[in-house]
Amino acid sequence: GENVEQHPSTLSVQEGDSAVIKCTYSDSASNYFPWYKQELGKRPQLIIDIRSNVGEKKDQRIAVTLNKTAKHFSLHITETQPEDSAVYFCAARNNDMRFGAGTRLTVKP
Amino acid sequence: DAGVTQSPTHLIKTRGQQVTLRCSPKSGHDTVSWYQQALGQGPQFIFQYYEEEERQRGNFPDRFSGHQFPNYSSELNVNALLLGDSALYLCASSWGQGRDTGELFFGEGSRLTVL
């Protein structure tokens, strides 16, 4: 089955700086790559996703890039704010969705 | 729209017992997936149900079983509980099957503690 690896496991940035989280996947048939944000004690919530026929997608301060050849995708958050502090998960889907281990992002005011 | 609902929210069991967790999918969704999330870890895929059948399964033992009902709701059963089964169990729903399904919506989870 699909194997998703995510780095780094923790990331601390200063408010206003950018944050980048990277993931790799193993199944070349995967065609959908979402990113979820999970705040403490809450459910994971989708923040952005990208399909395999697109290389980049942007939504305000967040963007995702996909390199199908390298089987690599990344989340970029610009102008970070304290409320961006949470755990972020990448995922990849072929017939079912598999998740990375998560990145704990801390944005320091 | 009620979203994905799960019950119970918290429960405590002892080793060797059995547990049943329940999930109602988001309105319009017909596919239910179950995940186990240990503290500080990512969600681990248990299995997926569509049209009342288990369609995909992750690397979990047969102690983990499930069911989907005609109204698309689902149950997760875990037999012979082990301490290591302590985790947050997340239900997620979507529409369709296979590679072209829509976005995955999660419930708030059922936190299981095994003593």
pLDDT (tens digit per residue) in A9-31? 999 999 999 999 999 999 999 99
Residue type, B16: G
pLDDT in tens, B6-32: 999 999 999 999 999 999 999 999 999
Q: Label residue B1 by pLDDT band (50, 70, 90).
A: low
pLDDT value of residue B58: 94
Residue A106's contacts (CB-CB under 8 Å, 6 or more residues apart) are A10, A11, A12, A13, A85
Residue B110 to residue B23: CA distance in whole angstroms: 10
- Nearest CA to B114 out of B78, B82, B76, B77 is that of B82
Residue of chain B minimizing CA distance to A2? B58
Q: Which of B40, B56, B105 sits opposite A96 (nearest CB)?
A: B56
Give the burial class of B4: count Cβ atoms within 10 A of its Cβ; 0-12 exposed, 13-18 middle, 19 or more buried: buried
Task: Over range B90-99, report the average pLDDT.
Answer: 87
CA–CA distance, B34 with B51 (Å, rounded to integer) = 15
Average pLDDT along chain A: 95
| Cβ separation B106–A100 shorter than 8 A | no
